[in-house]
């Protein structure tokens, strides 16, 4: 296998330490790319909706990349956009210390978290994706892994000096286009459940700052999540999230939609005091808040 150090076409981008705005890739916020479970998943995600097709495959050795592993991609997107906005050169080849990554994504720098980070990098590297998103023809698919390859660096005495990784073209190209990146709340990293993390990213992508909010059918959400949970369990967990209201910046509710099917509603909390509570696609239905 080609080593990272042998790649002559990529210049090293040294990640910058310190605070910066969190950025997330909109494609990753909209579609089912990650396992939402903390137990290892090997069963593929096979998704099709309109012209969008996604196939995510995992290896038995490592399992599928999880939505917690995706924190590394949020770190990478934030680094790339911040550097670009400052007029600095960026690259798919990135270098950082585990401490810098762990601190940015809200985790401690313990030995256990370091080992979990490395396991996550393995899952990101071994998970393969084939998708029609951003392809000129529906029949064409882009196939890649979330990380092409990664390695631990060390000096001549064997002392650790950090991590190097190469991002895929598909991800890097999306991040470098303003329209395909959104800022997210830093408290996103405090969300512990896979479903609520996925839901926040979806709500942030589709809800944005819509004055009257937005809504989604429960069954549509179940399909779009890629979750292995049966629909009844998924709906129960959605209602529990509505009861707890854990998503930063958004108020959740649900309404009775067509033929009694429930719809999840969401509205930016900053707009609630200045707008009449209405919900797109479900305006005439009463909103129930648990």
Q: Higher confidence at residue 138 or residue 174?
A: 174
State residue 288's pLDDT score. Answer: 37
Looking at every residue in the chain, the average pLDDT score rounds to: 87
Class of domain 190-271: mainly alpha
pLDDT in tens, 29-81: 999 999 999 999 999 999 999 989 999 999 999 999 999 999 999 999 999 99
Q: Higher confidence at residue 138 or residue 85?
A: 85
State residue 278's pLDDT score. Answer: 38
pTM: 0.88
State residue 271's pLDDT score. Answer: 53
State residue 18's pLDDT score. Answer: 81
State residue 279's pLDDT score. Answer: 40
State residue 273's pLDDT score. Answer: 42
DSSP per-residue string spanning the chain: ---GGG-TT---EEPPPS---EEEEHHHHHS--SB--SS---SPEEEEETTEEEEEE--TTT-PPBTTTTHHHHHHHHHHHHHHHTT----SEEEE-HHHHHHHTT----HHHHHHHHHHHHHHHH-EEEE-TT-SSTT--EEEESSSEEEEEE-TT--EEEEEEE--HHHHHHHTSGGGEEEE-GGGGG---HHHHHHHHHHHHHHTT-TT-EEEEHHHHHHHHT--S-HHHHHHHHHHHHHH--STTEEEEEEE-GGG-EEEEEEEGGGTTTS----TT-TTSPPB--
State residue 3's pLDDT score. Answer: 45
Averaged over 86-112, what is the pLDDT? 94
pLDDT in tens, 14-39: 999 888 999 999 999 999 999 999 99
pLDDT in tens, 148-193: 999 998 777 767 789 999 999 999 999 998 779 999 999 999 999 9
pLDDT in tens, 235-274: 999 999 999 999 999 999 988 866 778 999 998 887 544 3
Q: Which regions of the chain carry the CATH code 1.10.10.10? A: 190-271
């Amino acid at each position: 296998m080609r080593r990272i150090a042998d790649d002559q076409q990529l210049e090293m981008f040294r990640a910058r330490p310190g605070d910066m705005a969190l950025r997330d890739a909109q494609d990753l916020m909209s579609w089912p790319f990650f396992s939402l479970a903390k137990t290892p998943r090997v069963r593929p995600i096979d998704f099709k909706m309109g012209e969008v097709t996604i196939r995510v495959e995992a290896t038995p050795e490592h399992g599928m990349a999880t939505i917690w592993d995706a924190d590394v991609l949020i770190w990478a997107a934030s680094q790339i956009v911040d550097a670009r906005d400052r007029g600095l050169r960026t690259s798919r080849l990135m270098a950082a210390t585990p401490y810098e990554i762990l601190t940015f994504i809200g985790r401690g720098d313990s030995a256990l978290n370091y080992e979990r980070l490395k396991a996550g990098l393995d899952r990101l590297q071994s998970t393969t994706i084939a998708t029609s998103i951003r392809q000129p023809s529906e029949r064409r698919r882009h196939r890649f892994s979330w990380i092409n390859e990664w390695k631990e660096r060390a000096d001549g005495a064997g002392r650790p000096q950090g991590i190097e990784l190469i991002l895929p073209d598909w991800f890097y190209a999306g991040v470098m286009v303003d329209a395909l990146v959104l800022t997210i709340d830093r408290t996103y990293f405090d969300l512990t459940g896979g479903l609520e993390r996925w839901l926040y990213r979806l709500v942030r992508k589709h809800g944005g700052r819509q004055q009257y909010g937005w809504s989604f059918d429960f069954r549509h959400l179940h399909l779009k999540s890629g979750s292995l949970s049966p629909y009844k369990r998924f709906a129960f967990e959605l209602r529990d999230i509505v009861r707890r209201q854990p998503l930063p910046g958004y108020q959740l509710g649900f309404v009775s939609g067509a033929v009694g099917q429930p719809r999840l509603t969401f509205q930016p909390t900053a707009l609630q005091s200045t707008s009449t509570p209405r919900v797109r696609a479900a305006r005439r239905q009463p909103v129930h808040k648990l």
